[in-house]
Structure 1
């Protein structure tokens, strides 16, 4: 008869706090943006160094971004999009349709 909570229960309990939920969402956004950039870079067969050069960055900045370690500005996202041969699209989506 243990009072231990499984990971999912602990996560739900923690995310009941507004500050924790905001932090979780910020982390999710950084992770998803970083993953999208890494996947596109890899599709193009580019290294982080090549992407950095095209976007006017240093390779460690690209590595941190791809790992979800930084919250980018819109101008930085635009530079990365152009370097990846893409167009940046920013929009809003109703929460009930968000994945």
Structure 2
């Protein structure tokens, strides 16, 4: 999830702006960035993906 930081920088966005456009909170974006977001939904990832214009990559550990 830490790959969001470079995506935000490339897009010239802040966490707050991404959150606004993805219809979520800045805290949720921060948790996603840090990898501490538990039970993240596919709907949430789709909204973030749509704003950033990227494809998500999900893996299991």
TM-score, with length taken from structure 1:
0.51
1:1-99 superposed matches below 5 A = 34-71=1-38, 72-88=40-56
Question: Structure 2: how far apart are the matches of 1:89 and 1:69?
Answer: 17
Q: How many residues align?
A: 58
Q: Which runs of 4+ in 1 moved over 2 A?
A: 86-91
Larger RCO, structures 1/2 (Cα 8 Å, 6+ apart): 2
- Please identify which structure carries the higher helix content: 1
TM-score, with length taken from structure 2:
0.77
Is there any run of 5+ residues in structure 1 with no aligned partner, and where?
1-33, 92-99
